Amino acid sequence: MNKHDLAIRLAAFQWLSDQVKVHGDVLPRPLLQKGFNYEGERVPLVAPQGIFKPRLLELPLSIATTPKGPYHDTFGTDGLLAYKYRGSDQDHPDNSGLRRTMTLKLPLVYLHGIVPGKYLALWPVYVVGDDSAELTFRIAVDDAKYLARPAEGDSSEDSINTRRAYIIATIRVRLHQRSFREKVIAAYRSQCSLCRLRHEALLDAAHIIPDSSPEGEPKVTNGIALCKLHHAAFDSFIIGVAPDYKVHVRRDVLDETDGPVLKYGLQKLQGSRLFLPQSEKQWPNRDALEWRFERFKTAA
Ligand SMILES: [Zn+2]
């Protein structure tokens, strides 16, 4: 085993954790392709194939999925991720490499494709099972803090399984939220549907029917891309959107006098039309808008 193996894996985890601080936990593919420097050599984290081994390592460092399948198919009832072999040859170098990380208990990075070109990065993950009949590996996701101080964690089998079940439950919620956000923002071509602001860092996917309600499904048609200001104004019923996609500003706010943000950021929106996705199938659901607009009228 390459003596740098563990050091490179830990450097990858540190680099990822730095990137997440800057970009949030959904990372763009070009960033992952570029990777980081280890003793003067570039270590990318992703390549066109799903199982990826950088040149500096003997065994794979990351596994990636594409965004096509519904997320809930990814994790089995055992709380483990089912990861398909590369092709059908179980002895393909990528497959045997991944199998060796299982024997050696080496930590890996899992990149879950949310929308094309964007990944939720999870680490450390471990290959814990190999089902050659199904051509599938079983992957467990763990908590990074147990990697740093394994001695402090309770390492009994029960405790590990409880911890992993909890982690999977929180990951499911994150996948849900991140995938809703990315899909809505992509549908609106990364613009606020009220003011057309294009700064992705300032954009949110607002729920029309809140996700706390049973009807508040994480579908694009229950979402609108809004900038931070307009998201807050929409949530607090300062702005309402009628089922015909016309924008309404609350009466008392229209009557106020203040500086340019009030004037151009809010009052000028009165009577404008929502900027909509290109595909009509992604337009906000009119029943959901109506449900919401009734509440806006009550607030006004
Ligand atoms: Zn806006």
Distance CA 296, CA 300 (A): 6
Distance CA 300, CA 297 (A): 5
Q: Please report the pLDDT score of residue 291 as a whole number.
A: 96
DSSP-derived secondary structure letter, 264: I
132-153 tens-digit pLDDT = 998 999 999 887 766 655 555 5
241-290 tens-digit pLDDT = 999 999 999 999 999 999 999 999 999 999 999 999 999 999 999 999 99
Residue 61, classed as helix, strand or coil, is coil
Q: Please report the pLDDT score of residue 81 as a whole number.
A: 86
Size of the chain in residues: 300
Distance CA 102, CA 139 (A): 9
SS3 content of the chain, % helix, strand, coil (to 5): 40, 20, 35
> From the CA of 220, how far away is ligand 1's center (Å)?
18
Q: Please report the pLDDT score of residue 70 as a whole number.
A: 47
Q: Please report the pLDDT score of residue 152 as a whole number.
A: 54
> From the CA of 170, how far away is ligand 1's center (Å)?
30
* CA-wise closest residue to 236 among 212, 260, 201, 210: 210
Output the CA torsion 271→185→18→67 (10° steps). Answer: 170
pTM reported for the whole predicted model: 0.79
> From the CA of 279, how far away is ligand 1's center (Å)?
21
Three-state SS annotation for 274-300: CCCCCCHHHCCCHHHHHHHHHHHHHHC
The DSSP bridge pattern shows strands 136-141 and 36-38 to be unpaired
* CA-wise closest residue to 224 among 287, 277, 278: 277
> From the CA of 266, how far away is ligand 1's center (Å)?
9
- DSSP state letters, 132-166: TTTTEEEEEE--HHHHH-GGGS--SHHHHHHHHHH
> From the CA of 238, how far away is ligand 1's center (Å)?
13
* CA-wise closest residue to 15 among 41, 35, 39, 42: 35
> Low-confidence residues of the chain, pLDDT below 50?
70-73
Q: Please report the pLDDT score of residue 151 as a whole number.
A: 53
Residue recorded with tokens 């954790």: 17
DSSP-derived secondary structure letter, 195: T
Beta strands in the chain (DSSP E): 26-28, 36-38, 41-43, 51-52, 62-65, 81-84, 108-115, 118-131, 136-141, 203-207, 223-227, 239-241, 247-249
> From the CA of 10, how far away is ligand 1's center (Å)?
40
Q: Please report the pLDDT score of residue 72 as a whole number.
A: 42
Residues contacting 106, CB < 8 A, separation 6+? 5, 6, 9, 59, 100, 126
Q: Please report the pLDDT score of residue 76 as a whole number.
A: 73
> From the CA of 283, how far away is ligand 1's center (Å)?
17
Distance CA 294, CA 300 (A): 10
241, 207 contact by CB (below 8 A) = no
Residue 38, classed as helix, strand or coil, is strand
> From the CA of 223, how far away is ligand 1's center (Å)?
14
Cα–Cα–Cα angle for 190, 196, 198, rounded to 5 degrees = 45
Distance CA 283, CA 214 (A): 20
* CA-wise closest residue to 232 among 198, 270, 204: 204
